[in-house]
Amino acid sequence: MRIITQRELRNDNAAVMRDVEAGESFLVTKHGKPVARLVPAGVDELPVAREATVRGGFQALPRVRVDLSTAEVLDDLRGER
């Protein structure tokens, strides 16, 4: 298992994903502490502690319509300075 930093994962994600597809596993660290394992799909190495939760819920928020253009809103906000 290869150890990489979060920054390496972010900057080189295409290469990391190719390596994962080829069967390689990674341990991802953040500030020197392990935070995640990246393993090929189908590897039953790790049990699932809990299912992923959905955050945000932005789709449930009501949509607000404004009759003003963005430029008019910005002009109004800038006028309050």
pLDDT of residue 42: 77
- Which CATH number does the domain housing residue 16 bear? 3.40.1620.10
| Residue 58, domain member (yes or no) | no
CA dihedral 40, 56, 35, 26 (to 10 degrees): 20
Residue 4 located in a structural domain: yes
Which residue segment(s) compose the domain that 18 sits in? 1-41
In a domain, 70, yes or no: no
In this predicted model, what pLDDT tens digit does every residue of 48-64 receive, in sequence order? 677 777 777 778 888 88
Please state the rounded mean pLDDT for residues 64-70: 87
What is d(CA 39, CA 2) in angstroms, rounded to the nearest whole number? 11
Report the pLDDT value the prediction gives residue 55, as an integer from 0 to 100.
Answer: 76
pLDDT, residue 52, reads 74
pTM, to two decimals: 0.52
Asked if residue 80 is part of any domain, the answer here is no
Q: How many domains does the chain have?
A: 1
Q: Is 55 part of any domain?
A: no
Is there a domain that residue 50 lies in? no
Q: What is the pLDDT of residues 21-52, one digit of tens each?
A: 999 999 999 999 999 999 888 766 566 677 77
**Under 8 Å between Cβ of 8 and 15:** no
Classify residue 35: in a domain, yes or no. Answer: yes
